[in-house]
Amino acid sequence: MSFDHALPLIFMGLMGVAMLIYVISDGYDLGVGLLMPRATAQEKDVLIASIGPFWDANETWLVLGIGILLVAFPKAHGVVLSQLYLPVTLMLVGLTLRGVAFDFRVKAKASDKPLWDRLFFAGSMLASLSQGWMLGRYISGFGEGWNYPVFAAAIALALPAAYALLGAAWLIMKTEGELQAKAIHWAKLAWGPVVVGMVLISLATPWISATVRERWFTLPAFIALMVIPLATGIALLAARLLLDKAIVRTTLCWVPFVALIAVFVLGFIGLAYSIYPFVVIDRLTIWQAASSPAALKVILIGVCISVPAIAAYTVFSYRVFWGKATELRYA
């Protein structure tokens, strides 16, 4: 394979990894936002403190992923946005609302803070629902008919539950005492709906897409691919079993979060296998949607500068602010 032929694959890989990092990293802080109504006023400050140093860096990966789609795959960008214009707009409204609420609650009077907390929750829910709908429509290839919106709606409802579970696991790792105990309880509540949603969606996806059905249910590929759902089930079961152990409140508090990251990574691998070599399933392949090799080479220079910078900033922020979250304080 020549370098020119490999360039679209390189950019597709970069875009996929950027979106995966975004879903995991911003997924847990969206999940924390979804859990806000269950916390007391004092606990809400700790919830906000647990994600405060990270959420800006997390959303940078979304900008990177969409930017690569725009410049490296302009034809696909046009198709995707034309189909998802409204949910993308709603997602951006939700993310903006989160940012405004996050900053305004700092300066708000005590009597006004509950309003900004509710808006923070609303923004988190709106962004999560929109992302779930977009994922459902994307997986189905933007098909037309009653079953496609139903499938997208199912994922739109399942994704906030998955984010809430991930957010609860993050709080188990970042908090102590009574709040940590509450986070364990929240994780147990979210685990069941997430598992049911994942099973139903996994069963529905081959029904909704002939391409996915052919990829997964032909021999010998079917036997090899069973590793993905089996590993996913093991990771989910391990996370749930650990929630009942006292040690999750001490030295192994990070294990449920890591197990859930494994679940998201395995889901990403399954999705990547299902849609390859398409950027828009059944419509545009990677090479059909890509910019010219000359343009991609120029873009690659920028990517080689920006991606390491984003990665370094992300690693630095997590290293500096690692450890348990404490009560929120403002200078």
Domain at 107, CATH number: 1.20.1630.10
For residue 195, tell me if it sits in a domain. yes
Looking at residue 326, what is its pLDDT? Answer: 67
For residue 3, tell me if it sits in a domain. no
Neighbours of 322 (CB within 10 A): 10
CA torsion through residues 230, 232, 236, 238, sign: positive
C-beta separation of 30 from 124 below 8 A = yes
Looking at residue 159, what is its pLDDT? Answer: 93
For residue 99, tell me if it sits in a domain. yes
C-beta separation of 53 from 317 below 8 A = yes
For residue 316, tell me if it sits in a domain. yes
For residue 229, tell me if it sits in a domain. yes
**3-class SS of residue 25:** helix
For residue 222, tell me if it sits in a domain. yes
Looking at residue 167, what is its pLDDT? Answer: 95
Domain count within the chain: 1
Residues of the chain predicted below pLDDT 70: 326-331
Q: Give this prediction's pTM.
A: 0.92
Name the residue range of residue 103's domain. Answer: 9-320
For residue 4, tell me if it sits in a domain. no
For residue 327, tell me if it sits in a domain. no
Q: For residue range 145-157, what is the model confidence (pLDDT) as tens digits?
A: 778 889 899 999 9
